[in-house]
Structure 1
Amino acid sequence: MSAFSPALHKAATAVRKVIWKPMPGSQEMFLRLGQPEFLVTELLFHGSRGNGKSDALIMGFVQHVGRGWGAYWRGIIFRKEYKNLEDIIATSHKIIPRAFPGAKWIGGKSCKWVFPDGEVLMFGHIKKHGDYEKFHGWQLTYIGWDELATWATPELYESMMSTLRTAYIPTPEQPELPPLQVRATTNPWGIGRGWVYKRFIEARRPGEIVLNEDGTRQRCALFGTIFENIYINKSYIKNFLMKLVDPAKRAAWLLGDWNAVDTSSMFGAVWSSRVVMKPFPIPKGWRIDRSFDFGQSTPYCGLWHAEANGEAATLPDGTRFCPPAGSIVVIGEDYGTEENARGEQVTPDAGLFLSARAIGRRLKDREKRLTESGILTGQTIHPGAADSQIYNGKQVQGQQTVAAELEAEGMKFVPADKAPGSRVNSAQLAFQRLSTTKLNSPDSPHLYIFAGCRYLIACLPSIARDEDQMDACKKGPDDHSWDALAYRLTMKKSVTKVTNGIR
């Protein structure tokens, strides 16, 4: 047969026919980190909209079809709501039948692709913890999460990790085990952006891989932007993303900026860089008090506040700082959760399981450090509001309440206002204070937070509105610093006016 025969030319053309190939950059790296020799167990593909994340999520599974694992290569891609699966399923129909003509789509409740060698890729929705029960006991080798930040907490993500396992026994034809992996995509927008940021991005260099003790690669975040997408319609960038009115949404969707505050959150619209301040010595005339939210299995939180009285403070750079009288500066925080050597929270929303006495000793030590640091110079620290549950059981004979145990360690509090309407009241008081802080208004009290109060600073700008009561804050993970602040904001004036040396 001639080298130039039509038959050979047709065969060569068929060999060169490309169904799908990764774009250079983040999409290509996403697939590489799923190969056995480069395997990272957990990988987050984050960044702007339109950077090919959903395609990569499908192809992360498909790249291992036909590799000899057969039915043991079994995956699922999740969305929070069933209706949100439509787009990614449509994408799979554009790719899979062309790449694997023998693959069969089974719709209805099954909602899955079955490949010629037995591999299975399912599409599912999972919203609340009860939904996990139908997956308990499963064996999955590939778990995908599309738009991970739409889940409010890591609870379902971590529960599904228990299904990442295989019973495959190596054979001469395929001596390697399937590369078990969890793959997620997101842009920095959504109710769960806080926990996703902490798990994958916070305090890490771009592309840094978190290693397990045995040296295996556990976790990594991969960043990509829409500008890598050589196929994107440029008008989508110019006429939509670049023209978004909300600057925070524009920064998140166009640039993948995690520092962009979600303006749909409770305080997103009024949060500003003015709120966070470097510590400075508190004037002796300012009133100091503490507030507290109790937790044992979940974190407790103690906050210390300074209330301005019109007397000016001196900032570290020598400038005067004189906020309106009644302004509150959160000057200290003790958050009861386990942290690693890097100061990162080990498990989101997990407490230290300490007794009330042990918590009291920690709080007392934190107060001592406020004085030793020079922030306070002998001021009386007054008892502020605490969650009223710490007074439960005071009628039980011979039983000390949590409040009594804390007071025995020098930590006295007063019951917080938890009357009907208090959740709305505290949210609106915080909203008003943050608004006047942002505008630097001299007419109403402001709210400031010292830079060391990391958990409050992380929580406040991202806390969501309650869907059932839109003017109140939604309960969520690691919101205990907000609860402690809310108790202080709604504390009765008769309590804040106490000036005799109550400790």
Structure 2
Amino acid sequence: MSQSAVLNLHLHPKQEVAFNTPATEALFGGAAGGGKSHLMREAAIIWCSEIPGLQVYLFRRIHDDLIKNHMEGPQGFRELLAGWVECGFCTIIENEIRFWNGSKIYLCHCFNEKDRFKYQGAEIHVLLIDELTHFTEKIYRFLRNRVRMVGIKLPKKYVGMFPRILCGANPGGVGHQFVKSTFIEGATEYTVYRASKTEGGMLRQYIPARLEDNPSMNDNDPGYEDRLHGLGSESLVRAMRHGDWDIVEGAYFDNFERRRHVVKPFPIPDHWTRFRAGDWGSAKPFAFGWYAVASDDTIVPSGVAGAPGIVIPRGALVKYREWYGVKTDAQGKYIPDTGLKLHAEAVGAGVRQRDNYDTISYGVLDPAAFSQDGGPSIAERMANGTSANGSTFRRADNKRTAGRGAMGGWDQLRGRLSGDEDGRPMLFFFDTCIHTIRTLPALQHDEANPEDLDTKQEDHAADETRYACMSRPWAAKTKTPAPKVPQGHVQLPGVPDDGNGRRRIRI
């Protein structure tokens, strides 16, 4: 064999864990610089060379990123396979790599959800997705459904390991929440387990990736870590340098902080006004929240031993209960962004039941629920309920963004999260409102309209919270700076002013 036919492929120990895992649906993810993309290229080459007829599909969302990251450069496919191309062992034609044994690597992109249908008839033996958090859950579920294998003879060492999916991802992006809930929440790192049928039924695993796991990065670019620390915000550094999935890059509500906004349940004073808000959903989850309005400054326990209490300012909203209509699988795990498909009467009765014995002053509901199409509206049917136990609402103010002097709902929500002139939040959540807490921080800006958030995400609890905020508009007061006193003068109360609005005496 000529020297040019020998490929110089090398995987670091953590990459080998991901390469050799028995899991057939694995996420190798976390920090930037962990060697995820390089692993995918080398794995694709090795598997194609050892398994005749293998069909490998490598995805990134944007085509230009796909070419720049995987085809070009000193570690791209063209350079890695240069010797084999020279010897005729493989050919590279546009976005397709063909091997002598009939195996192929397809470089694919899927920018919009409608683009997924281009792969309707594909038989994907190996699905590689680089930066999974850049994709929506709908795209991922569709592509996973295309993963199948018929008529491929596997070497003994690979039996049971194919077909397979290997994904790489950093925290953040439009798919952050579904990736986190699919691979990370409720799972133990490195543990392989069988996903439910509704989740594809594959052997699933999360393998954390850290910058330290990729010595090549430190050897070839020793300044990379410093540049990660230079990203700016502490939260972004934690996400990209340390792979912290509780931090979201590019979050719309980047001012949400669990330590500031989430409180342990406490007895709501009877004289506080209570109301509820709702966002209708059937195939998608519905979301209802119950709120109390603080009538005076109130100190509540922080829930942390030895920590000072938390001040709930007068006028602050406290979401003390939620009902989120999300479907669960056989193991009781939430199926992200999938609704219960309950009929409106049952939902109305369920809301009324969850009012308990609270005195509800009013309710606001998604205006779309009031539309009529040849019959009673969703809101009317909810009011009918079951056994006359329905729930009533008025139309919520659905304005999302500010314009022409009118305030927007997202501004109201963000403003309350930021807080008053003393920095005290004006919106709190009981820690039992788990779906609001898990989905709100993950929401991203709309790429086409940065003032709005991306509606392709699980935004139902956010919409409901927006309706609640718009039902009680609030604006932070600006602190008035104390008037400057000229040097040599002291302001004293009760002393007549000098005609210029200042009271002073000379000393």
**What range is the shorter-chain TM-score in?**
0.7 to 0.9
Deviation of 1:103 after TM superposition, in Å, equals 3.6
**Residue in structure 1 matched with residue 496 of structure 2 by the alignment:** none
Answering whether residue 393 of structure 2 is matched by residue 409 of structure 1, we say: no
Structure 1 residue 252 corresponds to structure 2 residue 239? yes
| Aligned position for 2:324 | 335
Q: Deviations over 1:138-197 (max 9, x none)?
A: 11101111111111x211111112221223165999995881011110111222111110
* Structure 2 equivalent of residue 230 of structure 1: 215
Aligned pair 1:221/2:206, yes or no?
yes
Cα distance per residue 1:268-293 (max 9 Å; x no partner): 14545211111111111211111111
Task: Write the letter of the residue equivalent to 1:135.
Answer: Y
- Structure 2 CA distance, aligned partners of 1:291 and 1:399? 15
1:294 aligns with 2:280: yes
Change over 3 Å in CA distance of 1:82–1:324 after alignment to 2: same
2:366 aligned residue: 387
1:459 and 2:439 aligned? yes
Matched with 1:161 is 144
Is 1:350 the equivalent of 2:338?
Answer: yes
Give 1:374's aligned residue: none
Measure, in 2, the Cα distance between the counterparts of 1:253 and 1:454. Answer: 25
1:255 to 1:212, Cα distance in 2 relative to 1, 3 A: closer
- Match for residue 18 of structure 2 among 21, 24, 30: 30
Q: Aligned partner of 2:132: which letter?
A: L
Deviates more, 1:219-228 or 1:176-185: 176-185
For the residue of structure 2 that corresponds to 1:123, the secondary structure is strand
Residues 314, 252 of structure 1: alpha-carbon distance in 2 compared, 3 angstrom cutoff? closer
Is the aligned partner of 1:76 residue 2:37?
no
Counterparts of 1:175 and 1:344, CA distance in 2? 30
- Note the alpha carbon deviations across 1:388-415, whole angstroms, 9 max, x for none: 2222229848998334334942422111
**What amino acid maps onto 1:231 in structure 2?**
S
Contact 1:310 1:325 in 2 (8 A): yes
Aligned to 1:498: none
Does 2:128 correspond to 1:147? Answer: no
Contact kept, 8 Å, 2:261 with 2:427, in 1: the verdict is: yes
Compared CA separation, residues 166 and 383, structure 1 to 2 (3 A): same
Change (3 A) 1:114 1:178: farther
Q: Distance in 1 between matches of 2:318 and 2:18?
A: 44
How far apart, in 1, do the equivalents of 2:377 and 2:167 lie? 53
Q: What are structure 2's unaligned runs of at least 5 residues?
A: 474-507
CA–CA separation in structure 2 for the residues paired with 1:399 and 1:161 = 35
Change (3 A) 1:268 1:398: closer
Q: Mark the CA change 1:175 to 1:63 in structure 2 (over 3 Å): closer, same or farther.
A: closer
User: Hey, what does 1:209 align to over in structure 2?
Assistant: 192
Change (3 A) 1:192 1:178: closer
Distance in 2, Cα, partners of 1:31 & 1:471: 41
Q: Which residue of 2 is the match for residue 499 of structure 1? A: none
Q: CA deviation at 1:380?
A: 0.9
1:288–1:305 contact (8 Å) kept in structure 2: yes
Native 8 Å contact 1:428 1:471 kept in 2: no
| 1:349 CA displacement | 1.1
Paired letter, 1:335: Y
User: What SS class does the counterpart of residue 212 from structure 2 fall into?
Assistant: helix
2:69 is aligned to 87
CA contact (8 A) 2:275 2:290 kept: yes
1:107 is matched with which residue? 93
Match of 2:108 in 1: 124
The CA distance in 2 between the partners of 1:197 and 1:343, in whole Å, is 16
Quick one: which of 425, 446, 461 aligns to 2:408?
A: 425
Q: Which amino acid aligns with 1:230?
A: P
Q: After TM superposition, give the deviation of residue 449 of structure 1 in Å.
A: 0.7
One-letter amino acid of the structure 1 residue matched with residue 17 of structure 2: M
Distance 1:273 1:107, change over 3 A: farther
Q: Match of 2:82?
A: 97
The number of residues matched between the two structures is: 457
Aligned-partner SS, 2:323: strand
* More displaced stretch, 336-345 vs 122-131: 336-345
Residues 426-435 or 474-483, more deviating: 474-483
Q: Which moved more, 1:196-205 or 1:225-234?
A: 225-234
Q: CA deviation at 1:315?
A: 2.8
TM-score scaled by structure 2?
0.81
Deviation at 1:440, TM superposition (A): 5.3
Alignment of 1:438-449 (within 5 A): 441=423, 446-449=426-429
Matched, 1:277 2:263: yes
Distance change in 2, residues 1:172/1:385 (3 Å):
closer
One-letter identity of the residue aligned with 1:308 = A
Matched, 1:242 2:222: no
Q: Distance in 2 between matches of 1:446 and 1:398?
A: 34
1:61 corresponds to: 44
Q: 1:98 to 1:230 in 2, by over 3 A?
A: farther
CA drift of 1:261 comes to 3.4
Tell me the SS of whatever aligns to 2:337: coil
- The separation in 1 between residues aligned to 2:246 and 2:390, in whole angstroms, is 39
**CA spacing shift, 1:49–1:310, aligned 2, 3 Å:** same
Q: Say which SS state the counterpart of residue 56 (structure 2) adopts.
A: strand
Q: Which shows bigger deviation, 123-132 or 287-296? A: 123-132
Per-residue Cα deviation, 1:83-121 (whole angstroms, up to 9, x for no partner): 10122112122223346743433333xx11111111100
1:94 counterpart SS class: helix
8 A contact 2:248–2:441 mirrored in 1: yes
SS of aligned partner of 1:188 = coil
Measured in 2, the distance between the counterparts of 1:175 and 1:254 equals 34
* Counterpart check, 1:192 vs 2:180: no
CA deviation string 1:250-306 (max 9, x = no partner) = 1111111112233x3221145452111111111112111111111111111110011
More divergent stretch after superposition (111-120 vs 456-465):
456-465
Higher deviation after alignment, 477-486 or 174-183: 174-183
1:400 and 1:462 mapped to 2: Cα distance? 29
Q: Distance in 2 between matches of 1:395 and 1:171?
A: 58
Superposed displacement of residue 352, structure 1? 0.7
Deviation at 1:361, TM superposition (A): 2.8
RMSD: 3.3
